[in-house]
Structures are given as structure tokens and as C-alpha cells.
Structure 1
């Protein structure tokens, strides 16, 4: 596959890794207090963030772009760090992590059946839902530690979306022109279905946070408009290091 190259993304991921090391972790000793429904919701998200990414890394290696494969490894490391931070947050609140969850098992098995293009499109769905979720938790809880942890994760998730958009734009360009909008329509319908599932599964947490389910759904679908345009090449996703210009940075 012909790409614009991912050296800038490797540089950004590595710079973020160094910045994160300098900043250090939040002060876990301050503890955390949240409604029980929000704790249960965070437990499930922690399971999803804690994967090893082997399947995605393997597909990136097979794609024949060593720079992209390096960037994918750095992306996976960031996601694993999210899982670690959420586990520490749960521990700070005296809440155990889950060994697994059926919804995550279904999601992972579905992704692994797909080729690189479709796996990334499904992964993009998870990223868009995660952005709305972490933004909601950050803005709706009073607990300082939870706000700090979710703000850190949210900043990473926002950066991941244009990273995946670049690869998907090239991948979708390989489809016949007439099929490209059809593929994006199918992706948005799958996003709608996935988001409906999330707001049902995490409904008690959204209620505890005083967020209407329709508002959460509208937020995800609104964000998907600019992402869909970027995947079709109609909107230029941000270059590395310019997150403030990305449509999801608000």
C-alpha cells in the first residue's frame, strides 16, 4: 500500500512517551470516590483498554510498512497504559479489576476475523465511543483523581483518531470509487449500533452522571461526521503535533 509515511507519527508517539515519563503518574494516594454505577462502568472500560494488541501488530507487520508497524506498536503501548491507569484508579477507590467481560470478548473476536481495513474501521468505532465516554466522565464527576486520569486518557484517544484516519484514507482509496461512500455508510451504521449497545450497557453510569443517553449518542454520531469525511479524503486530518485543529479537540 502506498502511504504518505508515518515517520511523523512515530516521532509524535515517542515524544508523548517522553512527556508522559517526565510528568509521572497522578497521585494515587489521594484515593477516589465515585458512584457504584460509575465504578462498574470503569471496570468494563479497563478490560477493553488492557489488551495486548498482538493481532493488530501482526497485521501491521504483514502490511509491509515498517514505519507504520512501529507507530502501531507505540499506539498499542499507549492503550496499554490506559489500562494500567484505569487499574490504578480502580485500586485507589478500593475497586477490583475484572478478569474479563463478555462484551469485550465479543468485540475482540469480531475484530480478529477481519482484514486490516475492517479491523481499523471497527477500532475507529471504539475510539469515537471512548472519546465521548472519557469526556463525559471527566466533565461530570467531582472526584479530582478521576478527572485527571480521564483527561489524560482523553487526550491520547483524540490523537489516535487522526492516526487511524490517515491509514484508513489510503486503504479506502483502494476500493472502487462507487463503493467508498457505501463503505463509510456501513461504518456509520455499525457505529450507531455499537453506541446504542454502549448506552444500554453503561446506562446506569450515564444516569449517575446525569447524562441523557440520547445526548451521548448524539455526541458520538456528531463526531463521526468529520471522521467519515477524513477517511474519504474530503477533510484533511491534522498533522502530527497539531491536535488543537482536529475536530474532536473541543
Structure 2
């Protein structure tokens, strides 16, 4: 849970800057609200960790790689990379909500999951607008590449979080299969 808490805790400044540069004030405002929700997730997870006498961590190598990739290019790439984390998080928070040992964990995970379930369509809508000018075969190639990157990231999470997933009643393989399976309709929504 500490690793997910670190991932939720970014300031979102790069994403906000790119959203503002896109020239759509309504979208930029929505991105600021998205970032605020992510920061609230980090706060809730930190409080949950503290309630169990578990420390937060300042950084993790997976978050560093994720942030570096997100910031590499423009808004489209940032959103595609961000969507990898959002889709993996959907299954992870569902596992916490459904398999958590205590009511507080299940409650916090349920709240975060409810937000994440709204974030994915929000980002899909923007990606669909951003990818629309591309020829259909290129859009398919982009979303297929996104699904491959998602599968790779999901395998890393499944291995890295294997013991926690088992405690939540979700094995590594099942976690990975369910995340990858969920990506088909999401990729279609981006096209």
C-alpha cells in the first residue's frame, strides 16, 4: 500500500501545465480537480497506513520510472502512461476493498476505487479527442502499444505486490489476467 500511496502523492504540476497549454480552460480545470482527488487518495492512504502503525515511504523506484515516462513528451503520452497506473489501480483497489482484513481498509479502498472508476472514462474521453486526428490504423497501433505497456507494468506490480495480493485473495496470475482483460474495452474507448 505504501507504493500506491507514493504514486498518488504527486503534485501534478507537469500534467496541469500541459493541460493548460492545450488551450481548453474547462479541461484544465477538470485536470486540477483530478490532481486534487489523487492527492486526497494519498492523504487517505497515509492515514490508513498510520492507523496500522505502518510508515509511508518517501519514494519507490517504480514511481520514479512512471513519473519519468509520463513527463517525457506531450499531453497525449502523459495521459497514456497515466492510464496504465489508473487501470492497474482499479484492480488493486478492488482487491483491497473486497479482501481487506479490516473495515477501515475496505472503506478507504472503496472510496478511492469509486474515484478511479470515474477517472478512467475522463481520461479516455480526452485521449479519444487527442487521437481522433490520427488515421485509424495508427490509433489501433497506439492503443495496442498502450495495452502491451500496461501488460508489462501489470506484471511488475503483480510480482512486486505478490504477497499482498495473496493476502487479499487474488493471486498474481489472476490479478494480471484481470487487468489485461479489462484493457480491451478501455483501449476501444480511447480510439
TM (normalized to structure 2)?
0.97
Q: How does 1:147-158 map to 2 (within 5 A)?
A: 147-158=106-117
Encode CA deviations 1:222-248: one digit per residue, 9 max, x unaligned.
Answer: 21111111111xxxxxxxxxxxxxxxx
Give the aligned partner of residue 12 of structure 2: 53
Give the aligned partner of residue 168 of structure 2: 209
**Distance in 1 separating the partners of 2:137 and 2:169:** 43
Q: How does 1:100-111 map to 2 (within 5 A)?
A: 100-111=59-70
Give the aligned partner of residue 95 of structure 1: 54
Contact 2:95/2:169 (8 A) holds in 1: no
**Structure 2: gaps spanning 5 or more residues:** none
Bigger CA radius of gyration: 1
Give the aligned partner of residue 74 of structure 2: 115
Matched, 1:222 2:169: no
Encode CA deviations 1:7-47: one digit per residue, 9 max, x unaligned.
Answer: xxxxxxxxxxxxxxxxxxxxxxxxxxxxxxxxxxx111100
More deviation, 210-219/81-90: 210-219
Matched, 1:125 2:84: yes
Q: How far off is 1:110 after superposition? A: 1.2
**Distance in 2 separating the partners of 1:210 and 1:150:** 15
**Structure 1: gaps spanning 5 or more residues:** 1-41, 233-250
Encode CA deviations 1:187-236: one digit per residue, 9 max, x unaligned.
Answer: 1100100100100111111122232111101111121111111111xxxx
TM (normalized to structure 1)?
0.75
**Distance in 1 separating the partners of 2:169 and 2:31:** 36
**Distance in 2 separating the partners of 1:61 and 1:82:** 23
Matched, 1:188 2:188: no
Moved segments of 4+, more than 6 Å: none
Give the aligned partner of residue 139 of structure 1: 98
Matched, 1:62 2:39: no
Q: What do you get for the CA RMSD once the two structures are aligned? A: 0.9
Q: Name which structure has the greater RCO, CA cutoff 8 Å, separation 6+.
A: 1
Contact 2:88/2:179 (8 A) holds in 1: yes
**Distance in 1 separating the partners of 2:60 and 2:136:** 39
